[in-house]
Amino acid sequence: MQIEPLIQGVVARSAHPYGCRASIKEQIDYVKQAPQIKQGPKRVLIIGASSGFGLAARIALTFGGAEADTIGVSFERGPSDKGVGSAGWYNNIFKDEATHHGRTAINVVGDAFSNTVRTQVIEAIETYFEGEVDLVIYSLATGVRPNTDSEELWRSVIKPIGESVTGASIMLENDQWIESTLEPATEDEAEATIKVMGGADWESWIDTLINAESLAEGCKTIAFSYMGPEVTHPIYLDGTLGRAKVDLHQTSHALNLKLANFNGGAYATVCKALVTKASVFIPTLSPYLLALYRVMKEKGTHERCIEQMQRLFTTKLYGQSKVPVDGERLIRIDDLELAPEVQKQVSALLEQMNASNFKELGDYAGFKDDFMKLNGFNFSDVDYSQDISLKTLKTQTVIKPNCTQHSF
Ligand code: NAI
């Protein structure tokens, strides 16, 4: 069969295995020629390693100068009778590239909230990392977290708090600009979002690793956050996600105290807004992304996840005598996005942008291209007319949900 792009609303329902491989290779090529990471970590655990920032961090740390070995946790679907599987499943092919490069890369595919996955990770650290990690990257983006004390699931919501918000979203399925009004979250919804996307699970992972004596001297941990300019605050910083991120920032301070015992540190890292599987879900954020992409590309300051991560490790987290942080002890890698001249032009574009001109005024082509590429489409060197057998994909991959490695 030929694998075609299939989008439902803002969700990709298909992924191209060879396009995902091309995406990994493109990112590897970028970090190889970028300024190199100095004094980087050698043994890295990445929780949420199969797409977005987590995957980019994994590529940067392996190929961008640190020569790190990695254990990557992800929750992805392999090929089955129901479909070809998720892009993240095929992105885990990173393992093969790392192995060819002489590095160890272990994929743990399963629910990061479960004890099973934690046990598998500790075992992998024992087996492949001589029992210790130098860096833990927490990069989960998810809508649900099981409450281990009950049968209940906490579900996060992306809603404003206090007042409703009206704005546009762009349906990638049919390129339509849709105006909608989001009603404010209830207190229960806001609390559930903190449970899912706040710092509690990050802290619980670090506690698990401390108890298993898996943290090396000097071990650092980071998790990703977003703040954005004022125009995004009603839906982000002042909304349910923002509350969860404030909780994550507070958790970073608590973890920093715990990691001081290892002469290490914990940091929430504020990143740039980008098209990822998670971010296209955020209602009303898309027009901002379109304007931001246009302005930053024109200025030559646009970065994707991979450029963000390489810059984070070379200029902030490693090779400096002290990790540079702002007044709230956050690492800021969103500086280029928030540059006043960028934001002035973005605001001017947003004031004029509407359903009939968003493709011309904003960088819709770039936004959509990024989304397609996330799912392995739009790569010029991939032959999309080639026949791919689902049976072959299934037999070439290990599709047990909690396998420790797979390849195709
Ligand atoms: P993504 O959707 O591209 O990647 C999420 C990762 O989490 C994937 O590897 C997925 O397999 C894994 N995952 C999800 N649920 C899991 C589970 N239960 N068990 C194991 N693995 C699971 O997300 P993205 O955008 O890279 O987000 C990562 C972090 O970066 C989030 O905290 C997000 O808020 C933050 N961030 C994102 C920005 C953006 O514009 N995309 C901007 C700033 C911060």
**Rounded distance from Cα 341 to ligand 1 centre (Å):** 29
CA of 176 to the centre of ligand 1 (A): 25
Specify the pLDDT at position 306.
Answer: 98
List all residues 6 or more positions away from 373 whose beta carbon is below 8 Å from its beta carbon.
19, 23, 379
Q: Which atom of ligand 1 is nearest to the CA of 56?
A: 26
| Ligand 1 lined by 137 (C-beta under 6 Å) | no
Assess if residue 127 is contained within a domain: yes
Helix (H, G, I), strand (E, B) or coil at 8: strand
Q: What is the pLDDT of residues 164-216, one digit of tens each?
A: 999 999 999 999 999 989 999 999 999 999 999 999 999 999 999 999 999 99
**pLDDT digits over 75-87, tens only?**
999 998 888 999 9
**What band does 148 get if pLDDT is binned at 50, 70 and 90?**
confident
CA nearest to 316, candidates 224, 204, 200: 224
CA separation, residue 149 to residues 145, 271, 305 (Å): 12, 33, 35
SS3 letters across 58-115: HHHHHHCCCCCEEEEEECCCCCECCECCCHHHHHCCHHHHHHHCCCCEEEEECCCCCH
Q: What is the pLDDT of residue 278?
A: 78
Which pLDDT does position 397 carry in this prediction?
A: 54
Q: Which residues are catalytic?
A: 236
The answer to whether the annotation marks 370 as part of a ligand binding site is: no
Which residue range is the domain that position 131 belongs to? 7-406
- Answer for the pair 55, 91: CB distance below 8 angstroms, yes or no: yes
Share of the chain above pLDDT 70, in %: 97
- Confidence at residue 396, expressed as pLDDT on a 0 to 100 scale: 64
CATH of the domain at 365: 3.40.50.720
- Rounded Cα distance between 270 and 258, Å, is 21
Place of tokens 């272990």: 106
Report CA(385)–ligand 1 centroid distance (Å).
Answer: 31
DSSP letter at 231 equals G
Mean pLDDT of 10-38: 96
- For the entire predicted model, the pTM comes to 0.96
**Percent of the chain whose pLDDT exceeds 90:** 87
Query: What's the chain's Rg over C-alpha atoms?
Result: 20
The total of structural domains in the chain comes to 1
Q: Indicate left, alpha or beta for 164 from its phi (over 0: left) and psi (-120 to 50: alpha).
A: beta
394 has a pLDDT exceeding 80: no
The reported pLDDT for the residue numbered 151 is 82
**Residue 121 confidence class, pLDDT cut points 50, 70, 90:** very high
List of residues 6+ apart from 79 with CB closer than 8 A:
85, 89, 390, 393, 394, 397, 399
Within-domain flag for 2: no
274 annotated as a binding-site residue? yes
Query: What's the rounded Cα separation, in Å, for the pair 286 and 274?
Result: 10
Q: Is the pLDDT of residue 285 over 80?
A: yes
**Per-residue pLDDT tens over the stretch 301-340:** 999 999 999 999 999 999 999 999 999 999 999 999 999 9
Q: Please name which of 382, 403, 388 lies closest in space to residue 106, comparing C-alpha atoms.
A: 403
Confidence of residue 241 (pLDDT cuts 50, 70, 90): very high
For residue 142 and ligand 1, the question of a CB distance below 6 A is answered with yes
Give the residue, by CA position, lying nearest to ligand 1 atom 29: 139
Q: Which two tokens stand for residue 180?
A: 């909608």
- Asked whether residue 1 is domain-assigned, the answer is no
Task: Give which of 168, 170, 143, 146 is closest to 157, Cα–Cα.
Answer: 143
